[in-house]
């Protein structure tokens, strides 16, 4: 909420809106890791379980896109596995993800 505002809209020219990227990022493996590793999430005092719940809530409640019926929910285990790996170049990684998603070049997470 601190970086993107309560509605996920961001700050023009400073912090990008996450409303248009939640569903696309959550649909690809690298995007999911990015969502877990961004500083506001990775450095949160929330437990891994609460981070997983929060990410799932964000996808369903802040996204401008419709959540697909085959959406794979974030799990506590997924958060725990990725959360403590540093993400040094947030802007560059976000740009790479957007390009990869647009090109259809990124792997999707496994379905249960």
Q: For 54-106, what is each residue's pLDDT tens digit?
A: 999 999 999 988 999 999 999 999 999 999 998 889 989 989 999 999 998 88
pLDDT by residue (tens digit) across 12-44? 665 566 888 899 999 999 999 999 999 888 999
Residue 4 is predicted with a pLDDT of 59
DSSP string spanning the chain? -TTT-TTS--BTTTB--STTTHHHHHTSHHHHHHHHHSHHHHT-SS-HHHHHHHHHHHHHHH-SSPPPTTPPPP-HHHHHHHTTS----HHHHHHHHHHHHHHT-SPPPPP-
Read off the tokens for 34. 């990015």
Domain boundaries, the chain: 22-103
């Amino acid at each position: 909420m601190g970086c993107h505002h309560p509605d996920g809209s961001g700050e023009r020219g400073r912090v990008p809106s996450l409303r248009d990227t939640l569903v696309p990022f959550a649909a690809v493996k690298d995007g999911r890791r990015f969502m877990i590793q961004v500083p506001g999430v990775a450095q949160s005092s929330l437990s891994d379980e609460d981070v997983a719940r929060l990410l799932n809530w964000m996808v369903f409640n802040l996204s401008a896109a419709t959540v697909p019926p085959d959406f794979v929910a974030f799990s506590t285990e997924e958060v725990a596995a990725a959360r403590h790996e540093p993400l040094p170049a947030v802007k560059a990684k976000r740009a790479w993800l957007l390009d990869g998603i647009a090109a259809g070049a990124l792997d999707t997470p496994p379905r249960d």
